Each structure stands twice: as structure tokens, then as C-alpha cells.
Amino acid sequence: MFPKWFNKWNRENPTNIYGPAVIIGVIGAAVFTATMLVAWGQPFATNSMQTGPRGTGMSVPEFKAALATPDPDIELLLEDPPYLPEPGEELAGDIYENVQVLGDLTDANFNRLMAAMTRWVAPEQGCAYCHGDGGMETYGEDNLYTKVVARRMIQMTQTLNESWAGHVNANKEVGVTCMTCHRGQNVPSDIWFKLGNVNEATEGWPAIQNRATAQSQSTSLPSDALEKYLLDGEIIGVHDLESRVAGVPGEDGYPGIQQAERTYSLMNYVSNSLGVNCVFCHNSRAFYDGSQVTPQWATESLGIQMVLELNNDYLVPLKDEYPAERLGPVHQDAPKAACKTCHKGYQQPLQGTNVIKDWPELATTGAPDYGD
């Protein structure tokens, strides 16, 4: 087909046709992919919420697929509106023995709430989880620790809704019930205990880090951040604009690198608990400046103070009520709460579902408001 001279030249001058073919193929595939993305949309498109001035990186990007994934526990919520009390209706405190809380509820609403608490906390054990296997005549007894703890948890829930609305209802009415933490379990997930030293190979400061723990979110950061900030109330503040500060860090009135690492540990925990990143609360150009933070920073600051109160006023004092198997494995301390205990990885617990609307009995320490 070709002249002899061409065949001879072609044999003596072989050409690599595979390289150019691969390049052309790659370019063609890239063009095809780009065309499909434009035509059909990005398979992993993101959405973002602007939390500060433009040009400062103040946005919180999230994959739309993740935003569309509901918290599976929302399916456990049931509509259960209260019964409007009738004038002169007998109250639970007058009907039953030893009703130390909720005694001002009508019998119907009292039992409605007891049934709901069973669903929220002990769906398998039922009423016997707090009241034992005896008959109704024994329900007034305080023989089980679960009943004593449940009574105090009711008071804690009422306080949360009444005194900490600035955090709980920061965006809209959401409220807190037993379900917010328990999700159908006797013991809520994501509680925490004191660990002490976690690195047996060292002493002093290094002994509390460089081991993957739940408290450090599986990082090498300090494992005592929850203890220091959400139990002991240590001040969170490590930034100093001076390049040189006289004195010894940690001893002369200003924090050292240890406190900075502990702060990173806490912030990492908060970020994972809410499923957000740093700029959800902070301005990325001035983490230290409280005048440049987002509104969420104030909500989170309230949350830290709220958890401090919960742990110190309600949870830790119950230590002597718990059996040994409910206490911490290292220090035998009472279980404590933190951000993830309620949030479970979402910006708002149960993705902002209003869980309190049917439960005015848990919304206040006073008499419930059933409306008109």
C-alpha cells in the first residue's frame, strides 16, 4: 500500500505512539468528567453557612449529603401532647406516696410522663427499672438507686430548660428531655470519667497525653481537658500578644504550653461533638479576640458554664448512690456529661427538633404551663 521507501524509513525510525495516546486519553477523560459535572451537578456538592465578614474565611462548609442525613434517633420521638387539667382534679402528690418531684401534676399527666421516661431510659426493663418488681404498693419506696438518680435527673432537666435557655434555645425552642441524652439507653452514650495518667512510660505532664483516649478524641493531646475545664472550671485562655513574657509559664499568672495543648484538646472535642470546625465560633484571623467571634461563640461559652453546673451540682454529688459498676474504672468517680452527651455529632441535639413542646412539666421547676 505504501511506497517501499516509506516502509524502510518507518522500520528504521520507530515512533512511540502509546505516550501521546495516553495523554490524549487523559485529556479526553478530564473533559468528559468536567462536562458531566456541569451537566448533572457535583456528586459531593457542599453547602456553607457564613458566620462572619466576607474574605476572612468565616464559613462552615458541610457536604450536602451529610446535611440531608437525619439523626436516626429522631425516629424514636413520639407525639404525646399533655392533658389539659380540669378544675379540682386530684394531684399526683395527693394520690401516691413519696412523690418528691412532679407532685403538682394531675394523675393523667403524671403517668403520661412516667410512661415517657420509661421509653426514653428503660424501654426493655419498663417501670421495674426504677420501682422494682413489687406491686404498685411498693412504688413509693426508694430501694433502688435508679429511682433516686431519676428524681435528681428530673430536677436537672427542669433547671436546664428554665435557667439555661440562652444555650438550649439559642436559635429556637428546642428544649431538653431525658431523651436528649439517653436515646432509649439506661446510661447515655458519651459520658466520661476521670482517667488520671494514661502514659505509664513517663511522669509529670507527659503522663496525661500521647495515648489515644475518648477524652482526647484519639489524639496525642492531653486526656484531662474535660476534667480541667468541665469539672474544675479552669480558665480557658492561653493567647498572649507579647513575644516574651517574664516569669515561669503556669506559675506567674500566665498559661504555659501545657495549657495551650489542653485547650486544643477541649476545642477538638467540642468540634467533633457538634460536627463543626473552628470558624463556627472563632474568627480565623484573631482567635484570641472576643470582639471578632461569631454569635455561636457566646452560645458555646454558655454551654461550658452549663455543663460545669450539671457536673458539679447534679452528677458528681450522686456518686454515693451508684453501685460500683456504674462508677469510673480508674478513680471510681460518678459519670459526667459533656457536649457530645447531648449533641452526638450534630450542631443541635436531635438536629434542633423541639422535644419540649409536649412536656411543659419538664420545662420549669415551678407549676407547668399548659396554655389555654
Residues forming the annotated binding site for heme? 114, 127, 130-131, 153, 167, 178, 181-182, 267, 278, 281-282, 339, 342-343
360: Cβ contacts below 8 Å, ≥ 6 apart: 82, 368, 369, 370
Q: Which residue ranges are tagged as binding site?
A: 114, 127, 130-131, 153, 167, 178, 181-182, 267, 278, 281-282, 339, 342-343
Q: How is residue 228 written as a grid cell? A: 480541667
Phi-psi region of 291 (alpha: psi -120 to 50; beta: other; left: phi over 0): alpha
List 62's β-bridge partners, or say none. Answer: 47
DSSP output for 58-103 = -EEEEEHHHHT---GGGGG----PPPPPPTTPPBHHHHSSS--SST
- What's phi and psi for 7, nearest 5 deg? -65, -40
As to burial, measured by CB atoms within 10 angstroms (0-12 exposed, 13-18 middle, 19+ buried), residue 192 is: buried
Q: Give the Cα separation of 366 and 319 in Å (integer).
A: 27
Task: Please report, in angstroms and rounded to a whole number, the separation of the first and last CA atoms in the chain.
Answer: 99
Residue 70 and residue 351 in contact, taking contact as beta carbons nearer than 8 Å? yes
Query: Kind and range of the H or E element at 35?
Result: helix 18-40
Instruction: Find where cell 403524671 sits.
Output: 110
Report the C-alpha gap between 356 and 363 in whole angstroms: 7
| Residue closest to 106 by CA, chosen among 366, 365, 367 | 367
Residues contacting residue 121 through CB under 8 Å, at least 6 positions apart? 129, 150, 178, 182, 184, 185, 186
Cell of 143: 430501694
Question: Whole-angstrom Cα distance, residue 137 to residue 98?
Answer: 12
